[in-house]
Structure 1
Amino acid sequence: MAKRRRRKMKLITKLIISFLSLMIVLVGAYFGRHAYMNYRLRMEQQQTIERQAKEKRDFIKRVAPEAQRMQAKYHVMSSITIAQAILESNWGKSQLSKEDNNLFGIKGTGANSKLFTTREYVNGQWITIKGRFKVYDSWDASIADHTRLMLEGTYYKSDNYEPVVKAQNYQEAAQALQDANYATDPNYAQKLIQIIQTYDLDQYDR
């Protein structure tokens, strides 16, 4: 009787040990998979961050040479030109910049323009409007026309952007653009300044 009881206890002990071992394996597998999934997620996020950072560096490298060429000839600061291109085109990803090479949202008329939907800040709120915007053969052409706009002004005021061209630093130039109503965004100047400082764009002014 005692032997039978001992055998039964041994069997129960083995079953308990087997059950606990299985639970340990299952729990380990669960947490191991969870840790692996978290690792993969972190890696994918890091890769996304690195890819986006590279895309931004590539965009700056692509537009900087023409911006610097325009600065050398006409004194429109490269940092301002690059920052505007970034802000207005969302790093070259906007439909207008991808399809029509218009980096700055410059409006136009006639055959070399296209009807496009955009947002503007009017009477204290953002509204959606339709307008005609210029079409260019290349981003360089867009940058050159942006410089021309700074030099020649608008049809209603030829010296509208003169303070931008004569600015002594990018902070003055950014504020001059806002004062000249280049964009309807009330925070336009601060956004340009922040972009310039974040990506050290003033290095292209030297």
Structure 2
Amino acid sequence: MGNQTVTQASNYFDLQGLEQLRQKTKTNDKETIREVANQFESMFASMLIKSMREANAAFETESPFNNQQTKFYTDMQDKQLAVDISRHGSLGLADALVRQLDPTSIVRPQSVPQKQLMMPEQEPEMMSLTTKENTTDFKKPDQLQASLQTKINDSALQHKVESADDVNTNASAQKVDFSSPSSFIATLLPYAQKAAKSLGISPEVLVAQSALETGWGKKVLQTANQQSSFNLFNIKSHNSWQGESVNKSSLEVEDGVGVQRRSNFRVYENLHESFKDYTNFISNNKRYEQALQQGDNADRYIEELQQAGYATDPQYADKIKAIMNSDNFQSVVAGDNNNG
């Protein structure tokens, strides 16, 4: 705009800024529309403040500070407050006026292809059971069972949860094996069995859900110091959450359009805490009652979970069912159960 810039009045005594604004209204440019909208919002805010002062006038009749001099300075303060409110767009009235007078100023969200809709910081290729890291031949169950035996003996079984007393809740530096989909399943299945028993659902659906949410463990959210959040289900932090949180960008689907949003996500000390909080989150939330009524029908459970608003991805339930019902997934689960 060069020297056409409008000088915004920074206080209600700034008559020069208002006079320049009056002159620029003849141009009807975008910047002038914004400044006029701000001034209108300032007037509206001033009326609101004045109304509130008048409503409280009855309580000030006996006050020793109720005199003309005090009212004069209070009025000055209120008018300046109205100007500051408009400058910061606190009421949002100016934004609404600009959108009405200049529709071209509206920034619409960019459409994102459906195949790119995924969980926070998750890469699409991580959703596949046949990742590059997976060198196990899923078509040979006997070979798979033999190859997993060492891993189960060395790592997975040490995390198996037989009772609440068997869990080391202080294992903040807990090591997990997410090097492949098979090791991911073997590591999480004992925790899923414990949580599923408490919820009255199928453990397989919990493993498949965490696989989708974290890209088979490769995209578990990291804290500011690059430590694992152990948030296997990407549960967000709300007002009731008293623990640590991490702020991350996630892709949400709003009216069929993918939009990037930043949200706070919960941080846990270990895998046990993640499954424990998921159990509490689902069982204590009334909107998931219908999902819990499906029992061990895993397909219906995840469908009702999506219907209740657990995730915004319209294909959330279908993606989890595709993982859970695949022959590869079922063969690994069956092999681990046989060794349990």
TM range, normalised to the smaller chain? 0.5 to 0.7
- In the alignment, residue 138 of structure 1 is paired with which amino acid? N
Cα distance between partner residues in 2 of 1:139 and 1:118: 22
Report the CA distance shift for 1:184/1:52 in structure 2 as closer, same or farther (over 3 A).
farther
For 2:234, the equivalent position in structure 1 comes to: 105
2:313 maps to which residue?
185
Q: Is the 8 A contact 1:76 1:147 kept in 2?
A: no
Residue of structure 2 equivalent to 1:92:
217
Asked whether 1:56 is paired with 2:185, we answer no
1:137–1:63 distance in 2 versus 1, CA, 3 Å? same
Select the structure with the greater relative contact order (CA < 8 A; seq sep ≥ 6): 1
> Which amino acid letter does the alignment assign opposite residue 131 of structure 1?
S
Q: Distance in 2 between matches of 1:144 and 1:52?
A: 33
Distance 1:69 1:111 in 2: 23
Does the CA-based 8 Å contact 1:150-1:164 persist in structure 2?
no
CA offsets 1:50-95 (integer angstroms, 9 cap, x no match): 1697710100111110110112233132122111100111111114
The normalised TM-score by structure 1 is 0.67
Check the 8 A contact 1:89/1:104 in 2, yes or no: yes
Q: Which runs of 4+ in 1 moved over 6 A?
A: 51-54
Match of 2:193 in 1: 68
Aligned partners of 2:185 and 2:333 also within 8 Å: no
RMSD between aligned alpha carbons? 2.8
**When you count helix as a share of all residues, which structure comes out higher?**
1
Structure 1 distance, partners of 2:133, 2:269, is 31
Q: Partners in 2 of 1:127 and 1:51 — Cα distance? A: 37
Q: Structure 1 residues 47 and 147 mapped into 2: Cα distance closer, same or farther (>3 Å)? A: closer
* Percent of aligned pairs with the same amino acid: 27
Q: Which amino acid letter does the alignment assign opposite residue 50 of structure 1? A: T
| 1:161-195 Cα deviation digits (max 9, x unpaired) | 11222214111101101111100000111111111
Aligned to 2:280, which of 129, 148, 151? Answer: 148
**What are the residue-to-residue correspondences of 1:94-173 with 2, within 5 Å?**
94-96=219-221, 99-109=228-238, 112-153=244-285, 159-168=286-295, 169-173=297-301
The 8 Å contact of residues 79 and 196 in structure 1, kept in 2 or not, is answered as: yes
- Count residues in correspondence: 156
SS at 1:115 equivalent: strand
Which blocks of at least 5 consecutive residues in structure 2 are unaligned?
1-130, 139-178
